Every structure is written in C-alpha cells, then in structure tokens.
Amino acid sequence: MICNSVKSFKLLQVAFIFLFSIIKNMFMFSVSQCTVCVDFLYFQIGVEDMIARAWDSNPRVIKFPRKHQRSSSANGLRRQKRDWVIPPINVPENSRGPFPQMLVRIRSDQDLEKGIRYSITGAGADQPPIDVYNIDPVHGKMFVTRPLDREERASYHLRAHAVDMNGNKVESPIDLYIYVIDMNDNRPEFQNQVYNGSVAEGSKPGTLVMQVTANDSDDDTTANGMVRYRILSQTPHMPIPNMFTINSETGDIFTVAAGLDREKVSQYTIIVQATDMEGNLNFGLSNTATALISVTDINDNPPELTARTVPENRVSVVVANLTVIDRDQPHSPNWAAQYRIASGDPQGHFLIRTNPVNNDGMVTVVKPVDYEQNRAFMLTVIVSNKAPLASGIQSSLQSSAGVTISVQDVNEPPVFPSNPKSIRFEEGVPGGTTLTVFAAQDPDLFIHQTVRYSKLSDPANWLRINRTNGQITTMAVLDRESMYVRNNIYEATFLAADNGSPPASGTGTLQIHLIDVNDNAPVLLPKEAQVCERASPRSRVNITASDADADPHVGPFVFELPSYPPSVRRNWTASRISGDYAQLRLRIPYLDAGVYDVPIIVSDSGNPPLSNRSIIKVKVCPCDDNGDCTTTGAVAAAGLGTGAIIAILICIIILLTMVLVFVMWMKRREKERQAKPLLIDPEDDVRDNILKYDEEGGGEEDQLQQPEALDHIICKPPGVRRVDERPVIAESQYPVRPSLPHPGDIGDFINDGLRAADNDPTAPPYDSLLVFDYEGSGSTAGSVSSLNSSSSGDQDYDYLNDWGPRFKKLADLYGGGDDD
C-alpha cells in the first residue's frame, strides 16, 4: 500500500502481504477472532508505515481499505477481509507553519479507473471549530490550516469520504484520529498571588505552617505539567536566613529552626517559586508567589496594658472598651471608627463593635474560650475611619494597639468521651458480672479534682456503678424479654460529679445490646376449646404456641401428647399442620360430654430446645347438625350433674316462697288498718301536739324586741291591766289524752279541750285584737290599737309629695280625697 516507483519495494510489500495471507489461511479463523492475525495486521501496517517513512519523501498515504473476498470450493461461500486499522495522526501544538501544512494523503484504489472526489467531516472540518482541517478534493491531500492548542482541544475525530463524479459513494468512510502533541507552553499558575499563614512563636522545627499550590495547564502526565517548588528568599533574615523550608512536590511549608519570637519578628515574607519540567531550571517555566507568615503570640511576656479577664465558656460578654480620639466632626463618617483584629485571634473568639455614641470599641466574646487551650489572648487591634483619608494628608491611614485578654478558669463538668456508649452482652448474665468501665474525663486539666459516679436512671435496677472508677457491674440477671428493654437495647443513665467550687456534673448514657438466648419455653394457645362428642371433621381444634424469645429460638414448634396418663393418647391425637400450628382431634369415635384437661408438650427450635407441658381445657358436648353445641350439651359440658340442678331448683323455690309470705303479711296488715280506722298510733296522733308559737309583735324597728323587764307589768295594782297585753300568770293546764284512748272518748276529749281554751285568760286573742310583743321604750311608733281602718277623717296626705318621686304614686292615691 505504499505509493513508490521503485519496483523492489513493491515486491517486498507484496511478499509481506502474501506471507500474512498464508498464516491466516492456516489457522482458518476469522480475523476478528484471531489474535495472531491481528498482530500480523498491525505488523503489516507498521512495515508499510516504516517503508513509506524510510524510503518515500512524500507524506504518508492513507488508502481506503479494499474488500478482499475469497471463494470456497466446497460451498461457494465468500468471506470479506477485515478492514485495516488506521493509526492515529500526531500533530504538535503551536506549529509555526507554513500553513496550510500537509498532514496525510487520502487515496482510493479506484482513482485510476474513475474520477474520485475526497472530503472530510467532523469537528474541526465542517463542524465547530470549522476549517481547522481541509482536504484537496482531487488529490486527497489533508491539511491543517492553523496552529493547534492542546489546552483548547487535545484530539479530533474526522471521517474521510470518497465519491465519484456523480456523488456516489465509492469507498466506505474511514475514521481519522488526530492527537495534538503537548508542548511546554504554559507556566505554573499559583491559585493566589499572596498566601497568608501563621505559626505560633516558639514552635518546634518541623511544624507545618501553610501550603501553597500552583497548577500547570500542560499535560500533567508528562514533564511539561509536573511542578516543583522552592523558596527563593525570606525577609527578614532573623534569627537566621533559612527559618522555613518547603516540600518540593506538595508545597507544604515547615519550620526548620527554633527561635521564632513574635516580639522580635511578627511576620515573615517568603518568595516561593514553582517550576515545571520537574523543576528543571534550564528547560522549565517558572512563576512566583508571596507567602506572608504571621508569628502568633503565646503570651510569653507581661501584658502591656491593663489585663482584661473573660470567663471561659461564656459568650456575648464585653471584656474591654477601646477609646480613640478623632478631631473630625462627631457622628460623621469622618469621625466614626472601625475596629479590626489584625492578629492574636486566629479562631475568631472576639469581635469589636463600635459604640455609636462615644466611638469606643467594645471587645465582645462571640465564641467561647477555653482556659485549658488559651490562658490569655494578645490582640492586635487596628482602627480606621469609615470614610477614606483625604488625599495629600501626611498621616497613617490607621492606628493599631495591643489588647491583652486573660481567660478566667471556671469549673467545667466532667465529660463522657463516648456518649452514649454501646456494649453487647448475652442475656442471662448473672449478678456481679463486670460489663464495662464508663468513666468521664474532667476538662479542668490544671486543677486536681475528684470525680464521683452515681446512678441517675436504671429502670430495671439491674446495674451498679463504682463511685470512684465508673466500673459497671450487674446486680440482677439481664433479661432481654423485660418490659424495660426496647428493641433489644437497655438504657441506663449515670452521673459524674466533681468536687470543684461550685461542683459540676455531667451525664452519660450506657446502651446494653442484649443478645437473645433460648431461655423461655413456648406456651400453648388457646387455653380452652370446644369439640363435638362424636368424631367428625368439626371435632378438631387448631393449636399453636407463643415464645417470648426471638429467632432462631422460636418456631417451628413440636406438639406431642404425653404418654401418661394413657387415656390422653387413647382418646386424642395431635397432628402437625405447619411449622407453628397443629391440630388436636378425637382419636375415638365417641367421647362422653364433659370438660377434659388435655396435656400437650410443646417444644421450640432453640439450641438446646425448651419444652413446656401445657393444659388445654376441651369441652366435649353434643352438637347439632351445624356442629354447634346444644343447650343441654353446654350444661352437661359445663360439668353440672343432676344433684347440682336439683339444688338450684330448690333454692329458687325457697326464694319464691319467702316473697309470697311477705306479700301476704303486707295485705293482712292493710286489712287490719281498714277495719279499725280510729285506732291511731300514739306517735301519729296530733291532738295534744299543738305547736305553740310566740305572739307576733310590730313596729317600725327592723327586729322585734322582747321586753327588757316585766317589772312594770308585774308591779301593776291588782285588777288593772291592759286587755291587749298577755297576762303574766301561770298558763292553764289542758287535759292530757290517755295513751290508749277508747274510740268513744274522742268526742269528750275534744269538748274538754275547747272548754279549757275558752276559759284560759293567757290564750289569745286578747280583747279580740292581736297582741304584739313589747317594742321597748324607745319606739317612735304609736300603739297599733289606735289604727282605724276607716279612710274618713281629717287625715292630710299632701306631705307625701314632699318625699320624692318614690312616694309620688302613693300621694296621687291618697292626696285628693274630696275628688273621690
């Protein structure tokens, strides 16, 4: 396949092809399945390429694959040869031309027979980026039209086409792969031009300070993209010129010498160089960046200002007020100050807020500080105005000051490192077993304190904790089936308290994952059942079992009848239905009605298995056609014999007899009362039980008053008394009714009582008028005896008009008597 005028080389080419064909025919395999044939194919292409490059000064020619067909003498079958593999085309980037620059030549074997037109398609030809490659349609020469950049596109995939003059396809398209060869045309670029790092003063050699990183756009699989680092300079050179070193491959900067002192040198400036070509300074490209390393304070010097104190583990506390003087107009942007912490607080524990009233800077704790990590902070504070300084002013744009803040140690509660802590044990662990040590740590490292442990929550009271070392032991057997275990986990909470001032305490939770063991025997279900007395398909009971354990210590269950007593197996049989169910039924055709206790032995599938002898109460009763127990059968099945039934009937008869006797007695008593209506029980008789009430008094006073003394009445002369007063003499005695009076004496008794009342001077009414009690000497009302019911007279009611609107109605009724 090499276009050459020398005949000997063509013969050599034909010889190689012929040798390849012989080997392929010997193996009788298809080209796609023969590794040896593929190797020879590549060998053929390599030889052709070698011959073309060695002996032909023209560019490489790529020909469309020919379709070789071979006839089989046996069956006339034809097989097509495998297409040749087109090696990729390598083009270096940034070529200087001249352009267009020829790459290869595409050729068809049929160009001698007919006119052929060549074309290429794909990205770089007729697709973006367009016109990077083109082809001479007549001669098939393929060109690159401009310099290539691997960083923009590393490869191209084109397809070459061959058609005749009428546009008909002559050859199948072939794939062309073009790879852009990388050149070292990019310098390493640092991610930042300035890197900021920090290191504590007094740090030991080998302390990591910071890392710088540079990237190279060239191929990192070649030396063009392999970057190496080195330090060019360090400023200042104190205490030695080489205080730092850098890892040439990773860019990590370390300290190499002791003597860092923030009070002498607070910041170092380091120039770092990155070079590709694996750091070869003769061929590689380089770039530089600046690393600023701040030396942080470790509070190794006395404070310069009055020390401020802040308690640890507290926030929103103002620990210092910074005062500035600004002679510009107050409360203007030229006067307003802005504070910034330049150094001394790398983790952002403090924030400086400006007081809008007096322009002071309030140093506030925004993140809790820990005394055990930092006993003091030395802050460098920079203050500037909100408005920029006017141009031409010979003054510093900002001022700085140092602020020292001391951290006050407070007692912190003990902390459990793992909270909650989880352990695993099999259930059934006996009492006194040591489970684990659940110890807490006291964060107060600089104060020697004693931690004591106690139990805070232990629902089942299974555990005990050692007060001094936190060792957990059991007091009882751990049971996974306990009601206090949730999802196989038992939780207990413990308290760790120190003896600080004031004391502090912390809590920790212990989770015990209990692994199940076969410690529960299965229980038969149901406890009661009912069958018919005659063996039938309905005279069966489905039984199962429940087990408190978990898999694999539960089902399938084994159900069997015990051999003793013999009547069990003689009357009953148990057959297995499934892994968890069995069926109990009558073995004999008929069994007397009654209640039978049938023992059944149930075994689980644990290792070792556990068994349980359970009793199921089976009621055997006569059944109807539907298989349901009859009423008589239910009674018989309940175990009530003839004697019990007779006893129940006798009790019912006695109860009914007692009720009948009581009713008859009540009727007889009622008849006796109707026969003697005048015979009244003494307690029901009210003839001599006359209720005597006191006489009614009157007057305008709110309460009736009893006379304060009766001397004025008793001392009156005999025979002189007011007839409207109650006489002060002994009351008359009324006749007393006999306790058992005769019915004929009732009329005489009433007449005697009436006669005595008429002759009694102490009985009202007195002078035919109601007698009121004595109202006292201070009464303003006159005697009621002077009242006259007549409306005639000289009474004048006009004064009622003067009493107000409430008496107007009364004045209208009585005022104009003449008009009526």
Quick: pLDDT tens for 148-162: 888 888 889 999 998
> For position 653, what pLDDT does the model report?
92
CA 23 to chain centre: 73
pLDDT band, very low/low/confident/very high, at 761 (cuts 50, 70, 90): low
Q: Higher confidence at residue 744 or residue 630?
A: 630
Measured in whole angstroms, the distance separating CA 656 from the mean position of its chain's CA atoms is: 71
Residues paired with 63 in a beta bridge: 107
Answer for the pair 338, 385: CB distance below 8 angstroms, yes or no.
yes
More confident residue, 106 or 302: 106
CA nearest 405: which of 442, 366, 443?
366
Of residues 514, 507, 313, the one with CA closest to residue 419: 507
Nearest one of 670, 643, 557, 658 to 606, comparing CA atoms:
557
The predicted pLDDT at position 659 comes to 92
The bridge status of strand 155-163 relative to strand 117-122 is antiparallel
Tell me, what amino acid is at 465?
I
Q: Is 754 helix (H, G, I), strand (E, B) or coil?
A: helix
DSSP 583-635: EEEESSSB--SEEEEEEEEEE-SSSS--EEEEEEEEEEE-B-TTSPBPHHHHH
Distance (Å, rounded) from C-alpha 228 to C-alpha 475?
66
Kindly tell me if the per-residue pLDDT of 189 is higher than 80: yes
Q: In the predicted model, is pLDDT for residue 77 greater than 50?
A: no
Provide the β-strand partners of residue 620: 531, 594
Q: What CA–CA distance (Å, rounded) separates 138 from 107?
A: 10
User: Strands 61-63 and 133-135: what pairing?
Assistant: unpaired
Return the residue matching tokens 């305490």: 505
Report whether pLDDT(252) > 90.
Answer: yes
Closest C-alpha among 777, 770, 781, 779 to residue 724: 770
User: Which range is least confidently modeled, 112-116, 343-347, 678-682?
Assistant: 678-682
Percent residues over pLDDT 90 in the chain: 12
Phi, psi of 402 (to 5 degrees): -100, 135
Asked if residue 304 lies in contact with residue 333, where contact means CB atoms within 8 angstroms, the answer is no
Count of beta carbons in the 10 Å neighbourhood of residue 727: 15
Minimum mean pLDDT range among 24-33, 260-269, 588-597, 790-799: 24-33
pLDDT of residue 656: 92
Q: For residue 237, is pLDDT > 70?
A: yes
Average predicted confidence (pLDDT) for the chain: 75
Give ∠ CA 203-204-208 in degrees, rounded to 5: 75
CATH number of 89-181: 2.60.40.60
- Greatest mean pLDDT range, 516-525, 549-558, 662-671, 805-814: 662-671
Sign of the C-alpha dihedral computed for residues 663, 668, 674 and 677 taken in this order:
negative
Segment 159-175, tens digit of pLDDT: 999 898 888 888 889 88
- Tell me the pLDDT band of 634, cut-offs 50, 70 and 90: low
pLDDT confidence of 231, banded at 50, 70, 90?
A: very high
- Stretch 258-274: mean pLDDT: 91
Instruction: Output the DSSP codes for 77-143.
Output: -EEEPPPPPPPPEEEETT----SSEEEEEEE-GGGGTS--EEEEEEBTTTBSSTTSEEE-TTT-EEE
The mean pLDDT of 797-813, rounded to a whole number, is: 77
Q: What is the pLDDT of residue 292?
A: 94
Segment 775-784 mean pLDDT: 54
What letter would DSSP give residue 637? Answer: H
Residue 593: band (very low, low, confident or very high) from pLDDT cuts 50, 70, 90: confident
Helix (H, G, I), strand (E, B) or coil at 779: coil
Instruction: Quote the pLDDT of residue 442.
Output: 79
The Cα–Cα gap between 440 and 442 comes to 7
Task: Please name the fold of domain 421-515.
Answer: Immunoglobulin-like (2.60.40)
Distance CA 776, CA 704 (A): 9
Q: What is the per-residue pLDDT for 50?
A: 42
CB atoms within 10 A of CB 409: 16
Neighbour-count burial for 268-283, b at 16+ CB within 10 Å, e otherwise: bebebbbbbbbbeeee
User: What confidence category does residue 5 fall into, taking pLDDT thresholds of 50, 70 and 90?
Assistant: very low
- CA-based end-to-end distance of the chain: 160
pLDDT of 732: 55
Task: Spell 126-147 as b/e; 16+ CB within 10 A means b.
Answer: eeeeeebbbbeeeebbbebeee
Rounded to the nearest 10°, the torsion over CA 38, 40, 43, 44 is: -100
Q: What pLDDT shows up at residue 29?
A: 32
Residue 633 has pLDDT above 70, yes or no: no
The arithmetic mean of pLDDT across residues 202-215, rounded, is 91
Q: Which has more confidence, 305 or 629?
A: 629
Domain ranges of the chain: 89-181, 189-296, 304-406, 421-515, 523-621
Q: What's the CA gap between 529 and 541, in Å, rounded?
A: 7
399-408 vs 308-311, strand pairing mode: parallel
pLDDT band for position 708 (cuts 50, 70, 90): very low
pTM over 0.95: no
pLDDT confidence of 778, banded at 50, 70, 90? Answer: low
Give Dmax (Cα) for the chain: 193
Do the first three CATH levels of 189-296 and 421-515 match, i.e. the same topology?
Answer: yes
pLDDT of residue 658: 92
Nearest to 303 by CA among 375, 446, 404: 404
Instruction: Please count the helices (runs of H) and the strands (runs of E) in the chain.
Output: 8, 41
Which range of 21-25, 82-86, 457-461, 750-754 scores highest in mean pLDDT? It is 457-461
Structure-block tokens of residue 78: 């034809």
Residue 42 has pLDDT above 70, yes or no: no
Beta bridge partners of 135: 142
Q: Tell me what pLDDT residue 101 has.
A: 87
What confidence score (pLDDT) does residue 605 get?
76
Inform me whether the pLDDT recorded for 622 exceeds 90: no
Q: Between 7-27 and 35-55, two packed helices, what is the crossing angle to 10 degrees?
A: 170
pLDDT of 78 > 80? The answer is: no
Q: Write the burial class of residue 207 (CB in 10 Å: 0-12 exposed, 13-18 middle, 19+ buried).
A: middle
At residue 70, the pLDDT reads 44
Coil, strand or helix at 366:
coil
pLDDT confidence tier of residue 38, bands split at 50, 70 and 90: very low
Q: How confident is the model at residue 40 (pLDDT cuts 50, 70, 90)?
A: very low
Question: What angle (nearest 5°) sits at the alpha carbon of residue 478, between those of residues 482 and 555?
Answer: 60
Residues in the chain: 820
- Which CATH superfamily does the domain covering 189-296 fall into? Cadherins (2.60.40.60)
**Which alpha helices (H) appear in 246-355, and where do they start and end?**
none
Q: Give the pLDDT mean for 696-717.
A: 45
Among 173-182, 329-338, 599-608, 800-809, name the most confident range: 173-182
Type of residue at 280: N
- Strand locations in 224-375 (E): 228-235, 244-246, 252-255, 267-275, 286-296, 308-311, 318-322, 337-343, 350-354, 361-365
Q: Which has more pLDDT, 403 or 768?
A: 403
Cα angle 744-745-751, degrees, rounded to a multiple of 5: 125
User: pLDDT category, 20, cuts 50, 70, 90?
Assistant: very low
pLDDT at 794: 61
Q: To which CATH superfamily is domain 304-406 assigned?
A: Cadherins (2.60.40.60)
Q: Pick from 503, 501, 423, 502: which is nearest to 463 by CA?
A: 423
Does the pLDDT value for residue 551 go beyond 50? yes
Which is more confidently placed, 332 or 39?
A: 332
Which amino acid is residue 434, in one-letter code? T
- If one compares 306 and 504, the residue with the highest pLDDT of the two is 504
* CATH pick for 523-621 out of 3.40.47.10, 2.115.10.20, 3.40.50.720, 2.60.40.60: 2.60.40.60
Least confident range of 337-351, 489-503, 518-532, 639-653? 639-653
What are the pLDDT digits (tens) for 333-374?
878 888 888 888 888 888 888 888 888 888 888 888 877 777
Q: Residue 702 — pLDDT band, cuts 50, 70, 90?
A: very low
d(CA 212, CA 205): 19
Using DSSP, state whether 647 is helix, strand or coil: helix
CB 261 within 8 A of CB 255: no
pLDDT > 70: percent of the chain: 72
